[in-house]
Amino acid sequence: MTRTPLRPLPRILSAREHGENPDAIERENLRLRHEEMRDKSRDRAEGRLLVLGIFFLCAFLAVGMRMAVLAASEPSEPRMAAAGAAIVNQRADIVDRNGRILATNLQTFSLYAQPPVMIDKEHAARELVKIFPDLQQDQLIKQFTGNRKFIWIKRRISPEQKQAVHDIGDPGLQFGPREMRLYPNGPVASHVLGGAGFGREGVSSAEVIGIAGVEKQFDRYLRDPANSTAPLQLSLDLTLQAATEEVLAGGMRLMNAKGAAAIMMDIHTGEVLAIASLPDFDPNNRPRPLTQGDQSDSPLFNRAVQGVYELGSTFKIFTAAQALELGLVQPETIIDIKGPLQWGRFTIRDFRDHGTQLSVTDVIAKSSNIGTARIALDIGSDRQKSFLQTLGVTEPLPFEMIEAHTVNPLYPRNWSEISVMTISYGHGVSTSPLHLAGAYASLLNGGTKVTPTLLKQDGPQNGPRVISERTSAQARTMLRKVVTDGSATFGEVPGYHVAGKTGTADKPRTNGGGYYDDRVIATFASIFPAHDPKYVLVVSLDEPVETSGEEPRRTAGWTAVPVAAEIIRRTAPLLGLRPQVEPGPITGVTLTAN
């Protein structure tokens, strides 16, 4: 497009010649140009307005179509569980090694009130108190007449209670489904299972979360919806667990103990088959933690796992085995046990006088503190410490219970010679009974390390070697001698060749230093059968006293050992163990006359 100049020179010149005003030409050109511009912009605007119109038409059409599509689709009910905010239920079951149920879920209901839709609030409160005697009528009325729009009344109610509440007939009393955790065996294996409670709560569902034991340890696994059909299988055997708890409870009562713990473990696989702590509780109705006093007196306290005790003479076999392994002594080596043994300001005595000399086997069998201490002096502190570390009694166990991770064994920071001597017979070092079971298994199964576990295993653990097979066999022989000739003669169970070691430790005073004279922890750590060990059993009684004799007897030989023997007698057949019955005397033909 050629642009015409506003003041074309020829026209200006000719205008000047004719005496006209040249500005008129400029103005005329300006007007023309302006009009041309307006025409152009109007054409463009027309096109663009058309585009706008089509755009709006299409947009409105699209909205209309979309509306039609929506109107034609099916409405969905508003659900509480919207995508992304769902509370996932169906917690996986927990079963024992044979698939028997230890924990499962049960559909129950929660009860809540919506005061704005209630009709007769006082009547409802009165009737509710009749159904749930633990509710307070005044408080209910106060809640119902207050400003609140929503009140939880009961978290879990039974079908009968639900029907009764339903019969009150108030529309403001409403039910929400609740999946709750059920432990059908009641208090059996209560400490292992722990318990479950409600986490986030909605009206139509609530999250079930583990609050202790394996429920908490495996909470993530149990809650994973992918595992809802894959139950968590524990190493426990429900039958064994029940039998162990029953015998232990009887023993605890007979021995007047205030608490008891027992652990039955497979010596090769490390699977805990039964683990009991008394007093116990019902995980379906888990008690609250104590608000005052010693938490270790609470039924929630797991003595087998959380209880850290000086386990006494049961440690002597560690000293003897290490000395044998190092070649310092032989089982027949004679040890000087003349007492009392003075070391600095400490005096080490034996419970009974066993003369002046004993072989190493007899030091264990008779449980001589002095003899063990003398052997330990030859071993020295570094070697003793590292051996105990190898056995795993100085560190928290990686046991599959949430409580186990914080259980720190106690031992002297400064491992002096007097510590070496006291630790050799199990004083000055505190561990849990579970630690002891693990150490016994490692030492006596042929000498390979075993870590206790609560999950079912496929085969032996075959851990690193702790001690030679020969030493392990020698230690078993010594422990067998303890039962046949030594301090644990009550532990003999015909046919099952029990071998073990007693331990009686004075309890430390709770307020300040020193030990009680009349309060002991009596422990019997045993394996059976001695010639081909398959199981470890540790029984520990808290403050037992046996009063059938003239004076009260507290030693493990009189308290823990008979209980352990009874447990073995009851459970060995359940374990499928064949008794090795010695052939009786050959009877000849006897003639009897009537």
- Interface residues with other proteins (CB under 8 A) are 30, 33-35, 37-38, 41-42, 44-46, 48-50, 52-53, 56-57, 59-64, 66-68, 70-80, 82-85
Helix (H) or strand (E) holding 201: strand 195-201
Written as six digits, the tokens of 111 are 């009860």
Tokens of 29: 């050109």
End-to-end CA distance of the chain: 151
Instruction: Give the shortest CB-49-to-other proteins separation in angstroms.
Output: 5
Please answer whether residues 158 and 171 qualify as being in contact, where contact means their C-beta atoms are separated by less than 8 angstroms: no
Least Å from the CB of residue 116 to other proteins: 12
Q: Are strands 195-201 and 173-182 parallel, antiparallel or unpaired?
A: unpaired
CB burial class (10 A; 0-12, 13-18, 19+) of residue 52? exposed
CA 321/CA 323 separation, integer angstroms: 5
Determine how many CB atoms are found less than 10 A away from the CB of residue 289: 9
Do 247 and 570 contact (CB within 8 A), yes or no? yes
- CA dist 215 and 225 (Å) reads 15
CA distance 55 to 331: 102
Q: Tokens for 303?
A: 């003595």
What are the strands, taking DSSP E only, across 267-314? 272-278, 309-310
Backbone angles phi, psi at 584, to 5 degrees: -75, 175
Q: What is residue 410's DSSP assignment?
A: B
If one counts every other C-beta atom within 10 angstroms of the C-beta of residue 260, the result is 27
Nearer to other proteins, 38 or 470 (CB): 38
337 close to 356: Cβ distance less than 8 angstroms: yes
Residue 208 CB, shortest distance to other proteins, in Å, is 23
- CB proximity list for 57: less than 8 A, separation 6 or greater: none
Give the three-state DSSP class for 391.
helix
Give the number of other Cβ atoms within 10 Å of residue 329's Cβ. Answer: 20
Nearer to other proteins, 51 or 230 (CB): 51
Give me the least distance between CB of 54 and other proteins, in Å please. Answer: 9
Shortest distance (Å) from residue 86 CB to other proteins: 11
Closest approach of other proteins to the CB of residue 107, in Å? 24
Specify the DSSP element, H or E, that contains 264. Answer: strand 259-266
99: burial class by Cβ within 10 Å (0-12, 13-18, 19+)?
Answer: exposed
